[in-house]
Structure 1
Amino acid sequence: MTGVFPDSFLEADIFCLKKAGDASNPLNYRPLALLNSDYKVFTRILATRVSRTLPGIIHPNQNGFVPGRTIHATIDLFDVAQIMSGIDCDEEDAVALC
C-alpha cells in the first residue's frame, strides 16, 4: 500500500449531452463525466464505512447534511432564541411553543 490513488482514479471521459433548444448554442449542452468503475466501487466502500462511524462523531445538534435530520429544527430553535432574547423577563411572562 502506497497511500496514492492509481492514475485511473483521476481520469474521466467527458461527453456533452444536448438539451432542448438550438444545437448551435453551446449553452444548450451539459457535460457528463463517466468515471472509472474501480473508482466508483472504492468510493462506495469508503462511504459505507465512514457512514457507520459518523453517528458517534457528529454532535447531536448537527442537523444540516445529516441523513434523517433537517436544518428546519435548528432554524426554528434559533428563531425562538432570538425572540426570547428580545423579551425583558423582569416585566413580562413569556411562553415559547415549538
Structure 2
Amino acid sequence: MSSIYVAVGYVGGDIDYGQTNNGNSFANWSMAVRSNPKQEEPDWFDFVAYKALADIIQKHVKKGDLLHITRAYPRNRKWTDKDGNPRKSTEFVVNDVELM
C-alpha cells in the first residue's frame, strides 16, 4: 500500500534543475506549508519532479510562487556529504502539480 500526499505552499528558493546520470530532467525545490491556518511558522518540505514535469517546473515556477501539489509520494534518500558523513532525508516525488 502506498501513500499519496497533497500540499499547498510557497516555493522557498530557486529551482535546482539538472539531468540525472541517465539523462532525465529533474527539478528540486523546498516549499513552506502550513498544516492549519493558525500555524505561525510553516513546515518546510523538499520536493522533486522528473522528466516533462521537471521541465515545466523549471520553466514556469520561481521563488515565492504558490503551488498545489496534487499527487506526490514520500521517498527516503541516503547520500554522503562533502565531509564524508552519511546523511539521509525524506523528499516527496511529485507526480502532478497545479500552478496557482
Answer yes or no: same fold by TM over 0.5.
Answer: no
Normalised to the residue count of structure 2, the TM-score between the two structures is: 0.23
The structure number with the bigger radius of gyration is: 1
Q: Which one scores higher on RCO, CA 8 angstroms, separation ≥ 6?
A: 2
TM-score, normalisation: structure 1: 0.23
